[in-house]
Structure 1
Amino acid sequence: MRKLNIPFYGNTKDDSHCAQACFKMVLKHFLPRKSFSYKLLDRVTLHKKGLWVGVSGGLIFFAEQGLRIVNIELFDYRTFANKGQDYLRKLWSSDFFSIQSEKMDFRNEQSLAKRMIRTKSITHKNRPPTMIDVDNLFGEGYVIVANINPFMLDGVNDYAGHSVVITGVSKKSITFHDPGLPPAPNLTVSRNLFQRAFLHPDRRYAKLYAVTN
Structure 2
Amino acid sequence: MDTTASARIVLVPGFWLGAWAWDEVAALLRAQGRDVVPLTLPGLEPDHPARGEVTLEEQVAAIIEAIGDGPTVLVAHSGAAIPATVAIDRVPDRIVRSVWVDTAPVVDGAAMDASFEGEEMPLSQAWDEELEQGSMRDLTDAQLAEFQRRAVPEPAGAVRDAAQLHDERRLDVPGIVVCTAFPAEEYRAYAEQGMPFLAGLLEHRALTLVDRPTGHWPMWSKPAELATIIAEAG
Q: Same fold (TM over 0.5)?
A: no
TM-score (norm 1): 0.35
TM-score (norm 2): 0.33
Q: Please state which structure has a larger fraction of its residues in strand.
A: 1
